[in-house]
Each structure stands twice: as structure tokens, then as C-alpha cells.
Chain A
Amino acid sequence: GAGVSQSPSNKVTEKGKDVELRCDPISGHTALYWYRQRLGQGLEFLIYFQGNSAPDKSGLPSDRFSAERTGESVSTLTIQRTQQEDSAVYLCASSYRGLGAGEQYFGPGTRLTVT
């Protein structure tokens, strides 16, 4: 079946511009996560959506970052006034259940480069 998809696969933007990254989770997965991986570092949690509950935004690095999710489907991660330190691979993952075991299925990521 279809896995997690993300678009665009690559995005180059100028410092100060806003960007929007999209994630389509696996159908039926109630939980959705955003992570990022900066060069030479591990994956860093950003935000978590579970059903209709309020999202866990504890990993967002600044108020320039925000994310939305429509029901249990598509999510968009928005970065306003991008900075060079925002350059990273942004990964989306989904899972059938949120609380409990953490088998999360990842998309291929969006590589963001801020020039």
C-alpha cells in the first residue's frame, strides 16, 4: 500500500522567505509526527498530532515554525522568515496509534536549503 509521502522532495529558498512543507500520512494512521535532521545530527522531534487532540508542539524551535493537520489526513509544516540554520531534512512520520509503542513509518523527507 501507499506509504507516507512528502512534498516537495527538495526546496531551496532565500533567507527571510516563508516555506510550506506537506505530508500525506498512511491512510488510517491517527498519529502524525514531524522531525528534522540537520547535517551531522540525529533526528529532532518537532511536533506531534494525535487524532483531534491538541498537538504537542514542544519540539518546535521557535515561533517561526507552525504546523497544521486537517482531521487525520494531510499536514503542513510552515516555516516563516527562514534562516540558514533552518536548513535540514524535514521528515514526517505516521503511526496507527499515538500513545504506546513507537513504530512510526517515515516519509522520504523534504530537503530544505536556505541560502
Chain B
Amino acid sequence: EAGVAQSPRYKIIEKRQSVAFWCNPISGHATLYWYQQILGQGPKLLIQFQNNGVVDDSQLPKDRFSAERLKGVDSTLKIQPAKLEDSAVYLCASSRGGADTQYFGPGTRLTVL
């Protein structure tokens, strides 16, 4: 079974620029999550999708972050404009349902200069 795929693996941008990350979950997994992990901290949930609907986006900074999962499979997370404090690893995870084990992708390391 293929795991969660993410791209790019690394991204370096300057502040105020825009950036987008892509995630392809495990086949058949209805629930998809985006997490932000700042160095030295645990992952923090940004947004949770169930199929193509948003379940929880309470910790997503909506003035600059957006995410979509239009067809209920792949998802993109965008930051526009980026700030220095957005430097982190962005992890995508998926699960069969909200109460099931979450499996993580390799992450994207974002550096904002």
C-alpha cells in the first residue's frame, strides 16, 4: 500500500511571497489533515477534511492560509503572503475515518527568509 505523498520536500522563499504544498493521501482514506510542526514542538493541526468538506479549521490562520480538497482526494495548502514565523515542517496525514490511526507523509520543510 502506497503511503501519503507530499511535494515539494523542501521550499525556501522570502517573506511576503506565496507558496503551495500538495498532498496525496493513502487510497481510500476519507480523512485528510494538515499539520504545522515548528522546530522543537509537536505537530499542530491546521485543518481536517472529511472527503471534500472541512471538519475543523479552528487553528488555521485564515488571513494568510488556505486549503482545499476539491475532489475529496488530493489537497493543497497555500500560504499567501508568508511570514518568517511560518518556517516549519508541514505534514499531511490521512486516515480511514476521524477516529482511526493517522498516517503521515514525509512533510515539506518550509524556510521563510
A interacts with B: no
